[in-house]
Structure formats: structure tokens, C-alpha cells
Structure 1
């Protein structure tokens, strides 16, 4: 099983330093945040992309995934979303995603993850579903051409937050181009059992996010082992489907002590899979 750590937990560090730190801890991969301050595509020059590739080679690190979910460079965590009421804002999400596909190709990443539509702000679920489908159609050909798979990440409170809603959408998509970013904590938050879902959705899964969640099921990422999810059982389910990609620890909630969090999470994971 291959473990990575998401750079969105290292906002106080440069991407180059983050790669070095995670490699020193023992991670095999890094999820690169396609946003400030790390790798916002339109602010990252050809020379900057070359430096990232060089740092990865130097430290023998792979990219587990390009996180194309957040948009803090000129928006926030969710906005502009795929389902804004304003067509111009929806277009900005499409353009950002196209740039992230190109970035992933440039850096040698096989997948990008994206938000599951976005918040239903003043629109119906039917409108949101239609807007999301239109947006995905607008990026599909670029992803196919670049051989980068777009992974949709269900999240509590957004258009698609559970497995049923994901499957409703996925049956309309090309599985060679689109897939699932399986966030273990997110499914737990909406009352589903990640361990049971993994074998059912194995053909769709391109990448995992891992964090723990409290028994309250409130969406707040906790250190592995400090919440209510049976993570050893979940990881055994990942092993059971012979998954060849990465399980990426996502602890953006620990930005003030990112190095310690990454180190402690790695120790926990090595202990439970030994």
C-alpha cells in the first residue's frame, strides 16, 4: 500500500520544502494542491514546473494526485463552483479545471480531483446536476487527450455527498475519463460505511483521501486514530481490492503543526498495516 500526504496541510511551507519533508518522513508520494501557495496553474511558469519535477526526482517522490478542488487564488474553497447561478462563474471553474489537467500532464500526474458540483446556493438540485454535467462535458475531451482522469470527490453539504448520488451521476460519464476520489471521512460523515463501500465501488476509485472523523460525524478532519472510523478495517478493505494507487492523508486542519501531523500520521499507518 502506498501512502502520500496532501500539500494542502503545508500552507506555511513552500512546495519544494514540503516534498523534501514528506520524503524524509517516509511518504512515497505527495498530493499537490493546484492553488496558492503551491501550484496555481496560471501562476506557475514553465521554469516553476521544471523545478517541481526536479524536486520530485531528487527525493524519489511521486505525485499521488493533483488536488483541483479549492480555488483560493481568486475565490475560496468552493467558489467558483461547477454549479454557480452565474454562467461566467461556472466558466471560471471550467477554465481552472482545464488548466489543472494541463498541469497534471506537465508534472506526470495521472489524476486530478475536483469538487462534486458545489454548494446548492439558490438553485435546485436538478439545476445543479445539469450545470455539473455541462461543466464536466466541457473538460472531458481535454482530459481524454491528456490521459488525465478526473476524480469527483463527494463531500457533505454539496451537490453530491453520498454514494447513491455519485452513482446517479457516474452512470452518465465515461469511466475512462472520470472516476471517484474516495474520501474515507466524507462517506463516514454522511452515515455510510467506507469499509463496505470500497469493494462495491472499486472499479471507480482512482485515489483515496484518508483522515479520521469524530463520532458526531461532523466534517472536521482529525488525526488518524483520534476519531471514530475503524481505519484498520478500512485499510484492510483497500488492500482487499488490490488497489495500486495512493492513499493520501489529508490533514489541512493541522496547518500550524503540519510536520508533526504528517510524521504522526505516517507512524500510525505503518503500525496498523504491519
Structure 2
């Protein structure tokens, strides 16, 4: 297990500068959020991807590909369209396929994604089947490129809790399909941290770290919420988690360097206990 940092917390930096700073602070992984100015999958060139790969290799950094950019597909609507959209869900699917291709080029541990929120009043069964169909096709595409997909339950989305993910997981039933777990989300939705980690130990490929309070989906600086980090890290060590635990504080990007530095100091003490 190692600490990483999500580039959505460096949204005002050039990507190469962000990676250099994150590495210098001591992190061993990059959560690379593909965004309009950070390897936009629809516009980036092979040479840009190669340059990022070389920087990662030079610092011996692992990475995951994150796909939660807010306005990359629609400049007016946050996180739209999604895999649930009745008309243009294929646009989201195309974005994810291109993300898988970048993940392959960067030798990423996984591509992380979520269901999204429906914008039309459709029957839940129809929405779930649409999501399952997309997930199956994406899993086949990822498997053909030896890339793992890690699905993230997200508060307010169709698949929000791990109980909902469990249903989806069994319906997709694909070896390339695993879990991204945001520890703060568990607190927000009042799910047990230890039991959840233990339940998903064989399919947990990506962890997000932030602090959060019960009932409030707000990514807080460490120490400002209710997450028990001693329990969290102890349980991850217990399952021999050998992927990255990535800080996700996108709303702190205005103070990116100090936030990343403070986060590393706070979390590294738990990592070495």
C-alpha cells in the first residue's frame, strides 16, 4: 500500500508540474483525472501521453486513471452525459474507452468510474439495465487491453452505497470489474468502514482518501471530519492492500501544494504505524 494524490487537486497546475510536485512531496502514486487540460482523451496526442509516462517512470510512480472531470463532456452540465443518459450515454462510453486506452499506455492500475445521476424520470430497472450493458461492453474492451475497471459508488448517484454496488457487481460478473472505495463516502452514507473493506478485499483496486461528516457529501481536509483513519489504515494493512490510497481534495486546488504537503504529513503517520 502507498499514498497517492489525485490531480483534480492540482487543477490550476500544468499536469507535468503537478506530477513533479506530488512526487517531490513523497507520494508514490498519481490519481490522474483526465480533464480539459490534463490529457483530455479527445484531444491529447500520443507524444503528450508518452511524456507523462516518462515522468511517471522517472519518479517510479504508479497511477490510476480517474474519470470524474466535471465539464469535459458538456461545458454547461456537470458530470453529464452519463452511462444512464437515454440519448447520449454512448458519449460517456466513448470517453471511458479512450480513458482505457490511456490507462494501457501509462500501465495504470485501473480506470475508475461511476454510474452518474439520471436526468430523466425513467424506471430504475431500465436505468440499471442500461448501466449493466455499458459496463459489460467496457469490461470486454478493458480486458482486451489488460486494464482493470474499478467502479465507485458515489453519494447522490444511481449507485451510491456498496449494497447497490454489490447487486451491480454480481450482474456484471466480469473479472475486469472491481471496486473504487472512497472512505469519506462510507462515513457520509453511514456505512461501516472496516466491514466494507473486509467484504471487498478481493476486488478492491482503488481507494480514495478524504475526511467527511455523516450525512454531508463534502470532501474535507484531514482532521475536519469523522473518518477514523487509524481503523482505515489498520484494516487496509490487514487485507494486505497493495494498491494506492489516493488523496481526493479537488476543492482545495486553490492551495494545492500546501494541501498536498499537509495531507502527506497527516496520512504518512498512519501508514507507518
State TM-score, norm by structure 1.
0.94
Instruction: Report 1:1-274 matches (<5 A).
Output: 1-63=1-63, 65-70=64-69, 72-75=71-74, 76-86=77-87, 89-115=88-114, 117-121=115-119, 122-214=121-213, 216-274=214-272
Distance across 2 between alignment mates of 1:272 and 1:105: 31
Stretch of structure 1 that moved more, 45-54 or 73-82: 73-82
Distance across 2 between alignment mates of 1:219 and 1:3: 22
User: Secondary structure of 2:129's match?
Assistant: helix
Superposition CA RMSD, Å: 1.3
Structure 2 unmatched runs, 5+: none
Deviation at 1:138, TM superposition (A): 2.3
Distance across 2 between alignment mates of 1:71 and 1:212: 21
User: Secondary structure of 1:181's match?
Assistant: strand
Stretch of structure 1 that moved more, 130-139 or 144-153: 130-139
User: Secondary structure of 1:83's match?
Assistant: coil
User: Secondary structure of 1:197's match?
Assistant: helix
Distance across 2 between alignment mates of 1:233 and 1:4: 19
Distance across 1 between alignment mates of 2:103 and 2:39: 10
Distance across 2 between alignment mates of 1:235 and 1:77: 32
Distance across 1 between alignment mates of 2:118 and 2:191: 22
Question: Deviation digits for residues 174-220 of structure 1, max 9, x if unmatched?
Answer: 34210000111112211111122101111121110010002x43101
User: Secondary structure of 1:31's match?
Assistant: strand
How many residue pairs get matched?
269
Question: Does the C-alpha gap of structure 1 residues 140 and 272 become closer, same or farther in structure 2, counting only changes over 3 Å?
Answer: closer
Structure 1 unmatched runs, 5+: none
Question: Deviation digits for residues 84-113 of structure 1, max 9, x if unmatched?
Answer: 122xx1110111111111110011113000
Question: Deviation digits for residues 218-248 of structure 1, max 9, x if unmatched?
Answer: 1010112221111111111111100111101
